[in-house]
Amino acid sequence: MDPKIKHRLEARAKIIKAMAHPSRLFIVDQLARSAYCVCELQEMIGDDMSTISKHLSVLKNAGIIKDEKKGAQVYYSLRVPCAIKFFDCVEDVIKRNIEEQKMIAQ
Amino acid sequence: MDPKIKHRLEARAKIIKAMAHPSRLFIVDQLARSAYCVCELQEMIGDDMSTISKHLSVLKNAGIIKDEKKGAQVYYSLRVPCAIKFFDCVEDVIKRNIEEQKMIAQ
DNA sequence: ACCTCTATTGGTTATTTTACCAATTCGCCA
DNA sequence: TGGCGAATTGGTAAAATAACCAATAGAGGT
């Protein structure tokens, strides 16, 4: 494979990979509505705070979210509004999968 | 976290995870244009055929692509047209990341 | 200055993913 | 029916990911 194309694919994969985790999807979904600090997200998700912090760093490193310090807290927000559009398509796939399941079950 | 929400997030993550690999992104991109058999994709990507076959099974298992036997060959095609829309948003993120890189470099 | 609350980082372990090779299955044709 | 090409499956080793705990860093208040 052409190394230039390969490099582009890797860049794309990095961004998609950053979203490819239940907690990180949840975070993106929440940040699409409003900014939250780490401890708020931690309370919603329930995992250890260090785990949440690492998820946030993955998303930030991919350029999907941004952070802003406010005193002791760090508030995160969505950097790219279109990130939510992912969900529309994903839901399409899920719907289709469920429909097909029903078809087979008949 | 509410188990119902958790389950939905896992379902979404599975689909996104299926896309989160350079070769699989390439495959989706190609199949968006036309159907291809495994050996054609293998030639384009260059990895072992068993590797390609496993990538295809991941995508198929997620409901993103479908397969159709034609004699000895198996042709794969996109099952969900919107899968390409992923790329638009991903490209947005990449563009922004590059812009920011330039800003910082100044 | 000290304590506390918030967040990140380092370290460890368990799990998952990936890629290759080898073996097997399946269809086709001589 | 024997062999060939296409594809999948099983096995294995290396690498990446994820979650926790512990330790550290910073800000704010007392």
Distance between the alpha carbon (CA) of B51 and the C1' atom of D10, Å: 13
CATH architecture of A3-80: Orthogonal Bundle (1.10)
Q: Does B39 touch chain A (CB under 8 A)?
A: no
In tens, the pLDDT along A36-91 reads 999 999 999 999 999 999 999 999 999 999 999 999 999 999 998 887 778 888 98
Q: Closest by alpha carbon to B51, among B23, B80, B13, B18?
A: B23
CA distance A76 to chain B (A): 17
CA distance A81 to chain B (A): 9
Q: Closest by alpha carbon to B27, among B13, B42, B14?
A: B42
Boundaries of every domain in chain A = 3-80
In tens, the pLDDT along B55-69 reads 999 999 999 999 999
CB spacing of A25 vs B12 below 8 angstroms: yes
In tens, the pLDDT along B12-24 reads 999 999 999 999 9
